[in-house]
């Protein structure tokens, strides 16, 4: 397994060895309850008090409150609850409190969610208002000036978790003073801790939440600062711990670990200086520029944390970039960790008004102040390896010399699909059912391959393909058959040919294209290896195809990839037997069947950055888009096939498809390469 290079520090960090040691000590030697009055309890209390004193010194808390809690989400709730309870009381006492709860458009979701939740629960009925940011991601201070006279609470962040953009906290403070605003002010300091010096009591900030796991402490420990005199209402009541500010027996292992991190910050010499971090950022940026032509950085370096680079690459989606980085062992993220699993483009980048393609392609690379020369050098080398793999697979820098593989290629899965049929020898291809969302990709691919598009064909009745036909330089045609030779003829494509058949479907004529090796100028049903069937159901294909013809639809939402007349229904799961193999089962299979193939269904650029065969078996690369093209060969000479990918998602779908088609010896590697380490 490729050793990991962790560049997702804004999501969470590894734990500082000194913090691990401190946590272990707290559990082994200092396990008392700090509320107990015996000696064991007193020792724990001393640890807790010492940690608090250090945090108070380091953050410049002055006479304010500093309480330990579970993390920033809790700190945010407590701050919002405290401010909103005070606002409710003031309003009930007849005071004008303003009408708005204002929050920065790029805040972590915990902030607007907490505002909406407590506003509703407390029956305040204030209006939540987003404070817009400019194209640099910084708050619009003019807009804020206009809002302040009506603002009851203001929530801004010190540094953004997705882009690293630093807010103009001093500028906001000046505005609050100039407008003599009585608004309560929360500043989310999660991404600021350890990156620059804080002196909270000297500022006008009322509430500042912190989170341990963003700076080398474990998850589940955080802190909340509350300015002296700022209203406070506990979120959790009970045994009166933390001076009755946050009840519940303290997470002493977490406190000890956080204290070790704060000690390292206080003593210096452990974390890199700002200048050193800026140099690391320059080196990473230079590698990204070399590896990924046209890379655009989504936040200006002069206004952002040196530890965060947010970038986009023309022509590549976040997912494609994430996948290739992950395959190379480089852990980055496609936005904040909370939203990384969702496909939606980043609301932070959208708020900055970045073009859609950049929001859809964005990657966040973030490291921590513990990074060292060697780790950055390794990261740069891997980034450049990713660039080379993307070039070799044709995803970037197309130059007309990219390889063309014979066969059928599918674009899109889980919804609308387009299909391409290639002939490598003549560098030509045919496009079937070109979906608008894949047109850019198809055009870039055929340009990169220097391929001639012979025809652009549609299956749907009445579809007009003039636009894609022209975009792909097909010389002639009309309606759904751009480039089709003659009404009933065959379109030759190397040794294969396409035959067009019209099927009456609910009173309309839908086209079906059969693909196979012609015999004496004809392509009988028995010779059709693939059929591009548009939206027809298998029962509408009677007499057109044979039982094993692979049916390639214009949408594979129901039957992922392809099906056949012999295939079983998707819900039946195909032929019997365990589909998922764990490491031990895979070993057993490889021992019993040395001819078994391990099929890497990740994209070819993911494969190219290097893969160690799980259990050392024989590996072939068949990205999902080429699955339908490859299946007939496997069917002709079956051997056990074990599909694998990063997480097990893609490989499960591939194995299920083969099982449905009656291929009994298809399996997937459970949990993917992520768990095979």
With respect to ligand PLP, which residue has the nearer C-beta, 336 or 496? 336
Distance CA 651, CA 624 (A): 9
Tell me the closest approach of the beta carbon of residue 173 to ligand PLP, in angstroms.
Answer: 19
Q: How many CB atoms lie within 10 A of CB 447?
A: 16
Choose the binding region for ligand PLP from 187-195, 487-495, 559-567, 654-662 (rule: CB under 6 A). 187-195
110 near ligand PLP, judged by CB under 6 A = yes
Binder of ligand PLP out of 71, 315, 398, 461 (CB under 6 A): 71
Distance CA 60, CA 66 (A): 10
Q: Helices 39-59 and 252-267: crossing angle, nearest 10°?
A: 40
Tell me the closest approach of the beta carbon of residue 23 to ligand PLP, in angstroms.
Answer: 17
With respect to ligand PLP, which residue has the nearer C-beta, 82 or 393? 82
Q: How many CB atoms lie within 10 A of CB 561?
A: 24
Binder of ligand PLP out of 157, 299, 305, 453 (CB under 6 A): 157
72 near ligand PLP, judged by CB under 6 A = yes
Tell me the closest approach of the beta carbon of residue 147 to ligand PLP, in angstroms.
Answer: 22
Please provide residue 389's backbone torsions phi and psi, each rounded to the nearest 5 degrees.
-65, -40
Q: Which of residues 320-379 bind ligand PLP (CB under 6 A)?
A: 336-337
Q: Which of residues 200-229 bind ligand PLP (CB under 6 A)?
A: 211, 222
69 near ligand PLP, judged by CB under 6 A = no
Binder of ligand PLP out of 191, 287, 333, 459 (CB under 6 A): 191
Tell me the closest approach of the beta carbon of residue 51 to ligand PLP, in angstroms.
Answer: 17
Tell me the closest approach of the beta carbon of residue 71 to ligand PLP, in angstroms.
Answer: 3
With respect to ligand PLP, which residue has the nearer C-beta, 308 or 317? 308
Tell me the closest approach of the beta carbon of residue 592 to ligand PLP, in angstroms.
Answer: 47
Closest Cα partner for 488 from 475, 479, 501?
501
With respect to ligand PLP, which residue has the nearer C-beta, 190 or 370? 190
Tell me the closest approach of the beta carbon of residue 106 to ligand PLP, in angstroms.
Answer: 9
Distance of CA 206 to the CA centre of its chain: 34
Which DSSP symbol is given to 69? E
**Greatest distance between any 2 Cα atoms in the chain:** 97
Distance CA 553, CA 528 (A): 15
Tell me the closest approach of the beta carbon of residue 366 to ligand PLP, in angstroms.
Answer: 10
Q: How many residues bind ligand PLP (CB under 6 A)?
A: 14
Choose the binding region for ligand PLP from 41-49, 186-194, 431-439, 602-610 (rule: CB under 6 A). 186-194
Q: Exposed (0-12), middle (13-18) or buried (19+): which is 25, by Cβ within 10 Å?
A: middle
With respect to ligand PLP, which residue has the nearer C-beta, 150 or 303? 303
Distance CA 550, CA 503 (A): 18
Choose the binding region for ligand PLP from 70-78, 430-438, 564-572, 616-624 (rule: CB under 6 A). 70-78
For 367, half-sphere exposure in the C-beta direction (CA atoms, 13 angstrom radius) is 27
For 291, half-sphere exposure in the C-beta direction (CA atoms, 13 angstrom radius) is 24
Tell me the closest approach of the beta carbon of residue 260 to ligand PLP, in angstroms.
Answer: 18
User: Which positions ≥6 away from 136 have C-beta within 8 Å?
Assistant: 165, 299, 300, 303, 352
Q: Name beta bridge partners: 100.
A: 127, 151
Asked whether 536 and 511 are in contact (CB, 8 A), the reply is no
With respect to ligand PLP, which residue has the nearer C-beta, 80 or 511? 80
Asked whether 164 and 134 are in contact (CB, 8 A), the reply is no
190 near ligand PLP, judged by CB under 6 A = yes
With respect to ligand PLP, which residue has the nearer C-beta, 265 or 666? 265
Binder of ligand PLP out of 77, 161, 163, 428 (CB under 6 A): 161
Residue 105 is encoded by which pair of tokens?
């458009």
Write the DSSP string, 510-562: EEEEEEE--BTTB--GGGEEEEEEET--GGGGTTTS-TTPEEEESB-SSSSS-
Catalytic residue among 30, 189, 278, 338: 338
Choose the binding region for ligand PLP from 143-151, 185-193, 294-302, 408-416 (rule: CB under 6 A). 185-193
Using Cβ positions, the residue closest to ligand PLP within the complex turns out to be 71
Distance CA 475, CA 546 (A): 34
Please provide residue 128's backbone torsions phi and psi, each rounded to the nearest 5 degrees.
-80, 130
With respect to ligand PLP, which residue has the nearer C-beta, 133 or 324? 133
Is 552 catalytic? The answer is no
Q: How many CB atoms lie within 10 A of CB 92?
A: 9
Distance CA 597, CA 638 (A): 10
Closest Cα partner for 257 from 27, 40, 76?
27
Tell me the closest approach of the beta carbon of residue 161 to ligand PLP, in angstroms.
Answer: 3
Q: Name beta bridge partners: 101.
A: 128, 153
x/- string (CB under 6 A) for ligand PLP, residues 35-64? ------------------------------
Binder of ligand PLP out of 6, 58, 67, 73 (CB under 6 A): 73
- Parallel/antiparallel/unpaired status of strands 428-432 and 418-423: antiparallel
Tell me the closest approach of the beta carbon of residue 655 to ligand PLP, in angstroms.
Answer: 35
246 near ligand PLP, judged by CB under 6 A = no
Please provide residue 457's backbone torsions phi and psi, each rounded to the nearest 5 degrees.
-125, 145
With respect to ligand PLP, which residue has the nearer C-beta, 159 or 523? 159
x/- string (CB under 6 A) for ligand PLP, residues 437-466? ------------------------------
Q: Which of residues 514-533 bind ligand PLP (CB under 6 A)?
A: none
With respect to ligand PLP, which residue has the nearer C-beta, 211 or 361? 211
Choose the binding region for ligand PLP from 184-192, 422-430, 456-464, 541-549 (rule: CB under 6 A). 184-192
Binder of ligand PLP out of 8, 188, 242, 603 (CB under 6 A): 188
Tell me the closest approach of the beta carbon of residue 192 to ligand PLP, in angstroms.
Answer: 9
With respect to ligand PLP, which residue has the nearer C-beta, 363 or 531? 363
> In which residue are the tokens 């303003």 written?
98
Three-state SS letters, 447-476: HHHCCEEEEEECCCCCCCCHHHHHHCCCCC
307 near ligand PLP, judged by CB under 6 A = no
Element (H, E) at 208: strand 207-211
Asked whether 79 and 207 are in contact (CB, 8 A), the reply is yes
Asked whether 64 and 228 are in contact (CB, 8 A), the reply is yes
659 near ligand PLP, judged by CB under 6 A = no
Catalytic residues: 338
What residue ranges bind ligand PLP (CB under 6 A)? Answer: 71-73, 108, 110, 157, 161, 188, 190-191, 211, 222, 336-337
């Amino acid at each position: 397994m490729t050793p990991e290079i962790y560049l997702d520090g804004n999501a969470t960090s590894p734990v500082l060895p000194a913090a691990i040691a401190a946590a272990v000590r707290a559990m082994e030697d200092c396990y008392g309850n700090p509320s107990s009055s015996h000696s064991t309890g007193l020792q724990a209390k001393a640890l807790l008090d010492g940690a608090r004193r250090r945090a108070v010194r380091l953050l410049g808390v002055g006479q304010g409150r500093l309480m330990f809690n579970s993390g920033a989400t809790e700190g945010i709730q407590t701050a919002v609850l405290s401010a909103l309870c005070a606002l409710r009381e003031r309003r009930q006492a007849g005071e004008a409190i303003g009408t708005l709860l204002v929050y920065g458009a790029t805040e972590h979701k915990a902030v607007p969610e907490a505002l909406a939740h407590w506003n509703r629960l407390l029956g305040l009925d204030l209006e939540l208002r987003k404070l817009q940011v400019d194209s640099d991601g910084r708050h619009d201070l003019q807009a804020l000036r206009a809002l302040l006279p009506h603002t009851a609470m203001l929530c801004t962040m010190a540094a953004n978790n997705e882009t690293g953009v630093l807010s103009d906290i001093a500028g906001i403070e000046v505005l609050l003073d100039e407008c003599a605003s009585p608004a309560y002010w929360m500043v989310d300091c999660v991404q600021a801790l350890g990156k620059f010096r804080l002196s909270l009591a000297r500022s006008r900030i009322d509430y500042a939440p912190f989170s341990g796991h963003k700076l080398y402490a474990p998850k589940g420990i955080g802190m909340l600062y509350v300015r002296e005199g700022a209203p406070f209402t506990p979120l959790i009541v009970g045994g009166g711990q933390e001076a009755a500010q946050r009840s519940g027996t303290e997470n002493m292992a977490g406190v000890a670990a956080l204290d070790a991190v704060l000690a390292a910050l206080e003593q210096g010499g452990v974390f890199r200086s700002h200048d050193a971090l800026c140099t690391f950022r320059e080196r990473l940026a230079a590698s990204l520029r070399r590896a990924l032509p046209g890379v655009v950085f989504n936040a200006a370096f002069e206004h952002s944390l040196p530890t965060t680079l947010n970038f986009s690459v023309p022509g590549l989606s976040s997912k494609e970039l994430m996948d290739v980085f992950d395959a190379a062992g480089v852990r980055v993220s496609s936005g904040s960790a909370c939203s990384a699993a969702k496909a939606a483009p980043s609301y932070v980048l959208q708020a900055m008004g970045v073009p859609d393609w950049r929001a859809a392609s964005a990657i966040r690379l973030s490291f921590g102040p513990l990074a060292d020369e060697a780790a950055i050098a390794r990261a740069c080398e891997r980034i450049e390896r990713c660039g080379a793999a993307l070039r070799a697979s044709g995803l970037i820098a197309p130059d007309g010399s990219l390889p063309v593989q014979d066969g059928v290629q599918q674009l899109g899965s889980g919804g609308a699909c387009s299909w391409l049929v290639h002939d490598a020898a003549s560098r030509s291809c045919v496009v079937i059912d070109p979906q608008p969302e894949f047109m850019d990709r198809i055009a870039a691919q055929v340009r990169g391959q220097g391929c001639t598009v012979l025809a652009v064909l549609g299956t749907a009745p009445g579809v007009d393909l003039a636009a894609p036909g022209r975009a792909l330089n097909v010389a002639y045609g009309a309606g759904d058959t751009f480039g089709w030779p003659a009404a009933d003829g065959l379109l030759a494509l190397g040794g294969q040919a396409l035959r067009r058949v019209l099927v009456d479907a609910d009173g309309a004529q839908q086209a079906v294209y059969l693909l196979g090796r012609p015999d004496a100028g004809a392509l009988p049903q028995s010779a059709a290896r693939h059929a591009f069937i548009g939206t027809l159901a298998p029962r509408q294909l009677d007499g057109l195809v044979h039982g094993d013809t692979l049916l390639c639809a214009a949408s594979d939402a129901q039957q992922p990839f392809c099906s056949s007349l012999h295939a079983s229904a998707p819900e039946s799961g195909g032929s019997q037997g365990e589909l998922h193999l764990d490491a031990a089962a895979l070993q057993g299979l490889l021992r019993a069947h040395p001819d078994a193939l391990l099929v890497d269904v990740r994209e070819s650029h993911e494969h190219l950055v290097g893969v160690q065969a799980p259990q050392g078996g024989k590996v072939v690369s068949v990205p999902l888009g080429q699955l339908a093209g490859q299946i007939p060969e496997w069917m002709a000479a079956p051997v056990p096939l074990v599909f694998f990918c990063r997480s097990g998602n893609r490989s499960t779908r591939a194995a299920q498809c083969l099982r449905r088609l009656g291929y009994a010896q298809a399996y997937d590697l459970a949990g993917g390469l992520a768990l095979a380490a």
